[in-house]
A and B are shown apart, each in its own frame.
Chain A
Amino acid sequence: MRSFDYQRPATLTDAVALLERHGPEAQILAGGTDLIIGLRDRTIQPSVVADLKQVPELRPAIDEQDGWLSISAGTTMTQISAHPAIRRHFMALVEGADVVGSVQIRNRATLAGNICNASPAADTAPPLLVFGARVLVEGPAGERRIPIDEFFVRSRETTLLRGELVKSIELPVPREPVGAAYLRLTRRRGTDLASITLCCGVEPSGSTRLAYGSVGPKPVLFTDKSGVLADPATAEDAKLAILEEMLSAASPSPRSVRASPQYRRAMLRVLARRGLRAAVERLRGAA
């Protein structure tokens, strides 16, 4: 590993100033489970590593306020998975957080790190898209909020501007229970990167949200408000036509070592049908 200037800002203002000063030359260190791999294999060679774990506002915290559940940037996957309010309202996010790496990884890896790394295969992205999360950002111009479906660009690239950092991720607490499920396809059981990630959420109105990743440059979200997908009386063919439309954004890379494009497209359909079925069942179970 090449050496770097290690900085540990004590305040949010210092952190933003540091990131603004160094721009792309600086890398944020939160959980480190992606960054340190990149530092070691030299795919990332920052001159400054900014460890943000001392910034009070970024310390692990999960709070509910004004109908929003806020997860601070330092919160780990383990902490998310253990939190009663997240388990009650956003179980599909817990399902995503629970399959990130191993216990050892989840004890360090943060939700903010997972989205900032912007891997198309990020397990937490589809649930965040389905639940309509927004990202609270602090930067040189102050605070702003980015809807999660405008956050991802491609692997390692987000719509964060120079000097900006993620303060927290906010989730709207649903007034009525939403049925949602997270599914993924891996090459083997156990710890593995996903070849497909998918989350489906169904509201009591029948409105259905489908988010998927690992089949294109970024995870994507589609909504069907017709209620057809969630309606048990609708013929299977009618549902498949809508699903097919929602899945048409998939453009799996032919260069992937994990699965061929044909296989991914075929399995994406299977996962979408399973996800829809599971979400509808959960909605009924909650009602």
Chain B
Amino acid sequence: MPRTLDVELTVNGAPRRLEVHVHHTLLDVLRDQLGLTGTKECCVVGECGACTVIVDDLPVNSCLMLAVEADGHEVRSVEGLARAGELTPLQQAFLDKGAAQCGFCIPGQLMAAQALLEQSPDPTVADVHEALAGNLCRCSGYEQITEAVLAAAEEMRR
């Protein structure tokens, strides 16, 4: 009855070998075992998107995925965006547009938006709304967040 399992996954580009509890979610392991606390825990039922990470290029709720399911997969969290202290155009656009207020939902918003921009570099407003429909912001900065994503898309296309 294995209650822990050795898994191998890539986290923000770096291969990791870990022993994880089989009943721990990917969110638990990112935060508590790897110390990557940028990914937030909030509703834990898949409704708020604060825990959004990118697994094999697709945004998912890390609260609804067991860590063992990430075995052999590639996980990206908000910590993987900026390189050497240099913000990505998307992060910069969030700052420039005032999209981050309390900031709690922002890591999830960024990862959902990042996945969108990788798939469709020239999204419409409707595309942005759909891609971020699973990311709630209690500070209600939806206008600014949408503007930031569109601005980043434009910047990245240049």
Known A101-B134, A103-B112, A107-B58; judge A36-B65 contact (CB<8 A): yes
Q: How far is the CA of A174 from the CA of B150 in the complex (A)?
A: 41
User: Across the interface, which residues of B come within 8 angstroms of A40, CB to CB?
Assistant: 44-45
Interface pair A5/B134, CB less than 8 Å apart = no
Known A6-B2, A29-B66, A36-B66; judge A104-B60 contact (CB<8 A): yes
Q: How far is the CA of A138 from the CA of B135 in the complex (A)?
A: 38
Which chain A residues numbered 1 to 39 have a C-beta less than 8 Å away from chain B? Answer: 1-6, 8, 29, 32-33, 36-37, 39
Which chain B residues numbered 35 to 80 have a C-beta less than 8 Å away from chain A? Answer: 44-47, 49, 52, 58-61, 63-66, 68-69
Interface check B125, CB cutoff 8 A: no
Known A33-B46, A101-B46; judge A108-B22 contact (CB<8 A): no
| Distance (whole angstroms) from the CB of A71 to the closest CB of chain B | 18
Interface pair B23/A2, CB less than 8 Å apart = yes
Interface pair A191/B134, CB less than 8 Å apart = yes
Q: How far is the CA of A187 from the CA of B100 in the complex (A)?
A: 28
Q: Mark B129-143, 1 if CB is under 8 A from A, else 0.
A: 011011100000000
A-B contact count (CB 8 A): 85
Number of A residues whose C-beta is below 8 Å from B?
Answer: 27
Q: How far is the CA of A8 from the CA of B63 in the complex (A)?
A: 20
Interface pair A78/B58, CB less than 8 Å apart = yes
User: Across the interface, which residues of B come within 8 angstroms of A4, CB to CB?
Assistant: 22-23
Q: How far is the CA of A51 from the CA of B66 in the complex (A)?
A: 10
Interface check B91, CB cutoff 8 A: no
| Distance (whole angstroms) from the CB of A280 to the closest CB of chain B | 27
Interface check A102, CB cutoff 8 A: yes
User: Across the interface, which residues of A come within 8 angstroms of B45, CB to CB?
Assistant: 37, 40
| Distance (whole angstroms) from the CB of A53 to the closest CB of chain B | 7
Q: How far is the CA of A190 from the CA of B133 in the complex (A)?
A: 7
Interface check A105, CB cutoff 8 A: yes
Interface pair B112/A104, CB less than 8 Å apart = yes
User: Across the interface, which residues of A come within 8 angstroms of B68, CB to CB?
Assistant: 6, 8, 51
Interface check B21, CB cutoff 8 A: yes
- List residues of chain B with CB under 8 Å of any chain A CB: 1-3, 5, 21-25, 44-47, 49, 52, 58-61, 63-66, 68-69, 112, 115, 130-131, 133-135
- List residues of chain A with CB under 8 Å of any chain B CB: 1-6, 8, 29, 32-33, 36-37, 39-40, 49, 51, 53, 78, 101-105, 107-108, 190-191
- Not counting A6-B66, A40-B44, A104-B59, a sample of 16 additional A-B residue pairs whose C-beta atoms are within 8 angstroms of each other reads A1-B25, A2-B23, A3-B3, A3-B21, A5-B1, A5-B3, A6-B5, A6-B68, A33-B64, A36-B66, A101-B46, A102-B46, A102-B133, A103-B115, A104-B134, A107-B59
